[in-house]
Structure formats: structure tokens, C-alpha cells
Amino acid sequence: MNLVLFGPPGAGKGTQSSLLIERKGFNHISTGDLLREAIKAQSDLGMAAKKIMDQGQLVPDDVVIGLVKEKLASKPEASFIFDGFPRTEAQAKALDALLEDLGRPLNKAIFLEVDHKKLTDRLTGRRVCQKCGATFHIHASPPQKEGVCDVCGGELIQRPDDKEEVISKRLEAYMNSTAPLKDFYASQGKLKTVEGEGEVEEVFSRLSQEVAST
């Protein structure tokens, strides 16, 4: 089964994907994570992407499509959850073509819906472990010890693109390029909407029901 999980930045895509992987055995393709890995490795691709990401803009389609293609080729038989990809119609069409080649079409595109007023607070309060990638929120889900990851003891940092001045750019990119994907997937009959507000476990329970009915 292949699922796209999409929504505005701060909707909880990463958190909910982690739970789907842990509890339902999905494999994960997060283009944001793949780009951050490239930045850590200081590759040319990573360095070019960092400049764009730090400004809250979208990385070019051919770059992210290339990353997804590579990752899919490494596990062609697996069930994938696509997190943060596609973000444009060109990416959505490329994903359809890649999955068609594998004979494993996309089953559903699940839109995580959250009131836009809540997104900035979710993003500015987010803290991420530099070592293992676990995510916390300074108010909603704080770590036991400030600045230290509960999972691995690594240092918690604020992502450079979670700073307030970058968030408005990310929301703008979302509105212009990604929100129209709702119509794209609705026209394929694959769009499902899940309410993304409330406790993490509540959202996960709604999401699981949607996944189970696939």
C-alpha cells in the first residue's frame, strides 16, 4: 500500500508518519529528511538545497523527484508513506509515473487539516533532536529535561526554517503550490481528509481508521 500524507507545514505529517512506521510497518520517504541528510553530508546538492530551505522556498522539482526515485528503487516492493512529497503538481504527476512503473499505484492521499492560526505556534515551538530526529514541542510535548532528547540524550535544536520570519514564506509556498494538490487528488478519487487538531494519539486514531479502510 502506498499513501501520501500532505498538509501545511506544522500539520503533524512527520509525527504521524513516525507512528505509522512504528506501529503499522510502513516505510518512510520524507523529502525534508532526505534534504537535511544531504545538508549534514555537505554534498553539493545539500548545500544548494540549504540556501533555498533557509528562505522557506521549495527546492526544485527535479531535485526532490530524483531523491524519491533513488529511495523507491532501493525497496521497490515496500509499502511507503510519502511525507512532504509531493508538494507541487509536477511532483504529484512524477510520483504517479514512478509508482505506475513499479506496478504499485498510490492508494490514497490523506490531507491533514489544521487551522492555519495554530500552525505558527506549532512550528515556532518545535524542537528536533540533532542526533535521532525525534520531535518535541516546548509547550505541547516538552522533553523531560530542557534541550535534551528523551529518546537518545541528543541535543534539541530549533530548525532554521522554524524561525518566525521563515514560516510565513513556507506557508505562502504551501498555499501557492501544495494546497492545489487537494483538487488534483480529488479528481483522481484518492483524496481523504483527516482532522489534524487535538492530541497526537487522537489524530493517529483517526488516521489509522482511514488507513485501515484502504
If the CB atoms of residues 130 and 205 are measured against ligand AMP, the closer one turns out to be 130
- Interface residue list for ligand AMP (CB under 6 A): 9, 31-32, 35, 52-53, 56-59, 64, 84-85, 87, 91, 161, 170
159 as an active site residue: the answer is yes
Give helix 31-40 / helix 44-54 axis angle, nearest 10°: 120
If the CB atoms of residues 153 and 177 are measured against ligand AMP, the closer one turns out to be 177
Amino acid at position 61, single letter: D
Residue 175: CB minimum distance to ligand AMP, A: 13
13 as an active site residue: the answer is yes
Judging by DSSP bridges, how do beta strands 135-137 and 126-129 pair with one another?
antiparallel
The alpha carbons of the chain give a radius of gyration, in whole angstroms, of: 16
Is the torsion defined by CA of 91, 97, 103, 109 positive or negative?
positive
The strand order across the sheet containing 80-83 reads 27-30, 80-83, 2-6, 108-113, 191-195
If the CB atoms of residues 168 and 209 are measured against ligand AMP, the closer one turns out to be 168
CA distance 176 to 167: 14
If the CB atoms of residues 59 and 149 are measured against ligand AMP, the closer one turns out to be 59
Residue 73: CB minimum distance to ligand AMP, A: 18
Of 69, 93, 159, 190, which residue is the catalytic one? 159
71 as an active site residue: the answer is no
Judging by DSSP bridges, how do beta strands 126-129 and 156-157 pair with one another?
antiparallel
Residue 194: CB minimum distance to ligand AMP, A: 18
Of 36, 50, 126, 127, which residue is the catalytic one? 126
CA distance 79 to 74: 12
Residue 36: CB minimum distance to ligand AMP, A: 7
| Residue whose CB is nearest to ligand AMP in the complex, by number | 32
Q: Which residues are catalytic?
A: 13, 87, 126, 159, 170
